[in-house]
Chain A
């Protein structure tokens, strides 16, 4: 376009966890991409927890990895400790959680981006998104430079007009003193976007040397024969975390000074997440609890700074100094960075299609916290999907959309684009209808073939994947072996299981409550060269076979209507629909009949009316 400094296929605004995945996906798929960032030192910055994963988030990160993304690989490069959460609660809710070195995490991601072919990185503030006839044509920086492009991915995170709050002290700044983006909001408003204000917070960072660790319980990593990324083998645990508790004295101090908490004095306007309350919020809302858990997590191997998980706050600095010292083991603690709350601008993701593109402006994609989510993994998941879909938009290919029954990524984007999100959205396993299918141990089985078709899965990953598939069928074949009662007796006696007279296949033996594939491996000297994660996968598939089959049947039934796409209809014109359904459907404009079904207030009868209507119009 006229006056442009350079023309790109795509521009990605923001270099956080969404922006990094988006620009990598675009450039790896062959698109000439520009990544703009307010500060090169903030690439993939872990502004809050120094950790990747957690319940449901571990699955999201695993799915990003399975599609050919970078988050898992980068977590492995910066790993301090790896754990499998919920190991006793069942395979559907087990998730990986990595403690990572935030300095290394940033450095490694920055290096990966720098070395990526087709990708330019520029420190600048994008002030305006340029459009012509309802489609994106470029961006303009605060210094007035113009870059022409076909597609833009907006991934501004918490940096849009962000303001931090510590008691009476407020400052327009991003996390860690990084500059906020102050011009882009206006451009988005001019383009017709509804701007909302969300809020989140972070705890203090304290000096590890000032902590009396003897008053805490050690939380070591798990001995796992795996890593975050399917590309890597076992990672080493090098650091420990610690578990501690707040005290009654601390609660009293906060109660006495609650009028100075910005949340209660009215200083904070943004809507904060209920799942991540500050300590003052916890104490006021859960008055009957006399203590709360907290975790100490190392920020980096190269620093003494410690992250105090559980004690996020926006209390004034003098109160923070006193209250942290009332934690047992923190008697002499020295705060290095104060806890703060942060407010930022975001859009209403209902304005997006299920490929994360604006419904009104072609080629304009959004990913991450600007869509109302919170969390690195949620951001990365949207980032890779926005990147893939921006590429497909440029190359005039159909969108890549994952179903709720295929991936947590599908649940996430479907929720964002069809539901009223009124607080920062965090993924939880309870949000997924089919969590027994969406497991941590089968991310690659579910998605790597798709990633390969798209072109993001490189030959190395694909080879590893194919090898895993071969090992799975090999193991399954071995498990068909029949064993007679005599052969089974020692194992069955040891595990307290009764042997049937005719003997069993090894597969059927695994179906017994007290026997796992690892017992079989040990007793029959099998699977010597098969990695544990393959055995774990096969074990789960056998033990939960009945339930998995049941879920797959449900999925198959639901898919029949799920995939019927809805054209742009004015629902108020369909007389058969109830008034509430007309209003809701017009508000949410679902892309498919499945989405329409999930809207609260749309009844099965309304869906029947819709089906008849679509048939009448000849669209199905």
Chain B
């Protein structure tokens, strides 16, 4: 039996050093080839280091091809081993989906492995349990989710679509009801409005992902202003190497702390200055990249040495080493600046609060609804694609085709709400229209 090509993260979600993304199915090789751009002959079980094209940027990854049946699933499999971290893995998966794969369902790799005879009968019992367990977990998660804002929000949008579809379908199935120009213009208006709302949901989902995956913070500043010390003070660890020799930190270091239930991930960067040291130069260019990818930048300085790193990102100016100044710490009331001592810990808790206020409190509306489930996001993206198509062809084709796009959009939304049975639309037709002999 031949299946669709599927993709998913094979390593546990979260902050691992390496993320393994598995593509399985007949199109695995074709899709991987498009991801790499450079022509590759995919010798089985050979590891290639290649640049992968993620549309907005490129990154290096290790690529391994397993030819069927000698793979985990028994199908053609390509594994992409990329740098760790949620965003990168998600970007790669999104990219692979856009190239023609679909997101794997729980236990699907194992299921295929079993169907292709890669797993014994004993192990199969376990797979049923696994699919089941994940389903129940999902069901629990989704029922909890569906109790609340997700249900209201998506259901409301599906209802709008159900209404439009009922209006359109009634006119298609009952010739005595014609489409007036006013009505069709109204449909288009409603579809566009819905598209806008869903678009906003997707944009907002980035914020939702912040809640789920953590806030990324870059610490920048001139050499030896105490970036590593600050990182240690915030995380209460000795992760970064702290010396008084300027330029000790040559790599981007990651550490994290929890504050008000949110994970804050810190990236200590090499001091940014004009260096001639080759290794240090690499560190500096990485630091600049880290700033680009962060949600917030801490611009660290010391008395009489202002921070020269400029950024358009949200930032906080942190004046360090106030223990060295004679007078008491100057506590600024500005939301953009604070004085601390990384060494004595003075005002560090205040800094944490300020970081929280600036990233979470000011950005995330507690009463608003954010999508955080990758599958839901995929479904809504696919809904959007159909709505966009419907809008594009609205004035140039017949209503039967437009309706087909709307129906596809409706089904995709239904994957989130659980309403996918055709009868829902037919019921609506009968409740809204007076039809019959």
Q: Which residues of A contact B (CB under 8 A)?
A: 48-49, 55-56, 85-86, 88-93, 202-203, 273-277, 282, 285-286, 289, 292-293, 309-310, 312, 419, 428-431, 433, 435-436, 513, 544, 547, 557, 560, 575-578, 600, 603-606, 608-609, 611-613, 615-616, 620
Q: Residues of A contacting B176 with CB < 8 Å? A: 293
Q: How far is the CA of A616 from the CA of B396 in the complex (A)?
A: 51
Which residue on A lies nearest to B421, using beta carbons? A600
Min CB distance, B78 to chain A, in Å?
Answer: 21
Interchain CB contact under 8 A, A89 and B128: no
Once A90-B400, A203-B437, A277-B434 are accepted as A-B contacts, the answer to whether A428 and B426 lie under 8 Å apart by CB is yes
Q: Residues of B contacting A430 with CB < 8 Å? A: 169, 172-173, 422, 425-426, 429
Interchain CB contact under 8 A, A612 and B106: no
Interchain CB contact under 8 A, B131 and A576: yes
> Quick check: which of B1-9, B239-247, B271-279, B362-370 contacts chain A, the rest being far away?
B1-9
Across the interface, B131 reaches (CB within 8 A) one of A273, A289, A605, namely A605
Q: Residues of B contacting A86 with CB < 8 Å? A: 172, 175
Interchain CB contact under 8 A, A312 and B131: no
* Contacts beyond the supplied A55-B174, A277-B436, A608-B105: 12 A-B pairs with Cβ under 8 Å: A55-B172, A90-B172, A428-B173, A436-B400, A560-B3, A576-B128, A578-B136, A605-B107, A605-B134, A612-B128, A615-B124, A616-B121
Interchain CB contact under 8 A, A612 and B114: yes
Q: How far is the CA of A298 from the CA of B121 in the complex (A)?
A: 69
Min CB distance, A180 to chain B, in Å?
Answer: 22
Interface centre among B132, B399, B400 (most CB of A within 10 A): B400
Interchain CB contact under 8 A, A85 and B175: yes
Q: Residues of B contacting A603 with CB < 8 Å? A: 135
Across the interface, B436 reaches (CB within 8 A) one of A275, A544, A576, namely A275
Interchain CB contact under 8 A, B131 and A578: no
Once A56-B173, A430-B172, A605-B106 are accepted as A-B contacts, the answer to whether A289 and B422 lie under 8 Å apart by CB is no
Interchain CB contact under 8 A, A92 and B175: no
Min CB distance, A250 to chain B, in Å?
Answer: 15
Indicate if B152 sits at the interface (CB-CB under 8 A). Answer: no
Once A430-B426, A557-B4, A608-B111 are accepted as A-B contacts, the answer to whether A91 and B400 lie under 8 Å apart by CB is yes
Q: How far is the CA of A293 from the CA of B434 in the complex (A)?
A: 10
Q: How far is the CA of A577 from the CA of B430 in the complex (A)?
A: 34
Min CB distance, B22 to chain A, in Å?
Answer: 17
Interchain CB contact under 8 A, A286 and B173: no
Interchain CB contact under 8 A, A89 and B179: yes
Once A430-B429, A616-B121 are accepted as A-B contacts, the answer to whether A611 and B436 lie under 8 Å apart by CB is no
Interchain CB contact under 8 A, B172 and A611: no
Q: Residues of A contacting B3 with CB < 8 Å? A: 560
Min CB distance, A391 to chain B, in Å?
Answer: 32
Contact digits for B145-176, partner A, Cβ 8 Å, 1 yes 0 no = 00000000000000000000000010111111
Interchain CB contact under 8 A, A275 and B435: yes
Interchain CB contact under 8 A, B436 and A310: yes
Q: Residues of B contacting A609 with CB < 8 Å? A: 128, 131-132
8 A-B pairs in the complex with CB atoms less than 8 angstroms apart: A91-B400, A203-B437, A273-B436, A276-B435, A277-B434, A312-B436, A578-B136, A578-B139
Min CB distance, B366 to chain A, in Å?
Answer: 32
Interchain CB contact under 8 A, B430 and A616: no
Indicate if B127 sits at the interface (CB-CB under 8 A). Answer: yes
Interchain CB contact under 8 A, B434 and A578: no
Q: Residues of A contacting B135 with CB < 8 Å? A: 578, 603, 605-606
Q: How far is the CA of A309 from the CA of B435 in the complex (A)?
A: 11
Closest 6 CB pairs of A and B: A90-B398, A90-B400, A576-B128, A92-B400, A276-B436, A274-B430
Which residue on A lies nearest to B171, using beta carbons? A89
Once A275-B435, A612-B131 are accepted as A-B contacts, the answer to whether A429 and B173 lie under 8 Å apart by CB is yes
Q: How far is the CA of A276 from the CA of B435 in the complex (A)?
A: 6
Contact digits for B55-99, partner A, Cβ 8 Å, 1 yes 0 no = 000000000000000000000000000000000000000000000
Interchain CB contact under 8 A, A612 and B124: yes
Interchain CB contact under 8 A, B401 and A436: yes
Q: Residues of B contacting A608 with CB < 8 Å? A: 105, 107-108, 111, 131
Q: How far is the CA of A310 from the CA of B437 in the complex (A)?
A: 4
Q: How far is the CA of A576 from the CA of B128 in the complex (A)?
A: 5
Q: How far is the CA of A578 from the CA of B128 in the complex (A)?
A: 11
Indicate if B349 sits at the interface (CB-CB under 8 A). Answer: no
Min CB distance, B103 to chain A, in Å?
Answer: 12
Q: Which of B364-407 contact A (CB under 8 A)?
A: 396-401, 404
Indicate if B115 sits at the interface (CB-CB under 8 A). Answer: yes
Min CB distance, A52 to chain B, in Å?
Answer: 14
Interchain CB contact under 8 A, A275 and B171: no
Which residue on B lies nearest to A97, using beta carbons? B175
Indicate if B238 sits at the interface (CB-CB under 8 A). Answer: no
Once A605-B131, A615-B115 are accepted as A-B contacts, the answer to whether A276 and B107 lie under 8 Å apart by CB is no
Min CB distance, B331 to chain A, in Å?
Answer: 56
Min CB distance, B409 to chain A, in Å?
Answer: 14
Q: Residues of A contacting B108 with CB < 8 Å? A: 608
Min CB distance, B173 to chain A, in Å?
Answer: 5
Interchain CB contact under 8 A, B401 and A289: no
Min CB distance, A465 to chain B, in Å?
Answer: 26
Which residue on B lies nearest to A89, using beta carbons? B399
Interchain CB contact under 8 A, B436 and A612: no
Which residue on B lies nearest to A561, using beta carbons? B1
Q: How far is the CA of A56 from the CA of B397 in the complex (A)?
A: 21
Across the interface, B172 reaches (CB within 8 A) one of A49, A429, A606, A612, namely A429
Q: How far is the CA of A202 from the CA of B436 in the complex (A)?
A: 11
Interchain CB contact under 8 A, A604 and B437: no
Once A608-B107, A609-B132 are accepted as A-B contacts, the answer to whether A92 and B401 lie under 8 Å apart by CB is yes
Which residue on B lies nearest to A600, using beta carbons? B421
Indicate if B292 sits at the interface (CB-CB under 8 A). Answer: no
Interchain CB contact under 8 A, B404 and A436: yes
Q: Residues of B contacting A575 with CB < 8 Å? A: 128, 132
Which residue on A lies nearest to B398, using beta carbons? A90
Q: Residues of B contacting A286 with CB < 8 Å? A: 434
Q: Residues of B contacting A293 with CB < 8 Å? A: 176
Q: Residues of B contacting A289 with CB < 8 Å? A: 434
Contact digits for B320-358, partner A, Cβ 8 Å, 1 yes 0 no = 000000000000000000000000000000000000000
Q: How far is the CA of A584 from the CA of B397 in the complex (A)?
A: 40
Indicate if B197 sits at the interface (CB-CB under 8 A). Answer: no
Across the interface, A292 reaches (CB within 8 A) one of B131, B429, B434, namely B434
Interchain CB contact under 8 A, A513 and B398: no
Q: Residues of B contacting A89 with CB < 8 Å? A: 171-172, 179, 398-400
Interchain CB contact under 8 A, B114 and A615: yes
Q: Residues of A contacting B179 with CB < 8 Å? A: 89
Min CB distance, B120 to chain A, in Å?
Answer: 11
Q: Residues of B contacting A615 with CB < 8 Å? A: 114-115, 124
Which residue on B lies nearest to A55, using beta carbons? B173
Q: Residues of A contacting B429 with CB < 8 Å? A: 430
Q: Residues of A contacting B430 with CB < 8 Å? A: 274-275
Which residue on A lies nearest to B134, using beta carbons? A605
Q: Residues of B contacting A285 with CB < 8 Å? A: 434
Q: How far is the CA of A577 from the CA of B136 in the complex (A)?
A: 10
Indicate if B183 sits at the interface (CB-CB under 8 A). Answer: no
Q: Residues of A contacting B169 with CB < 8 Å? A: 428-430
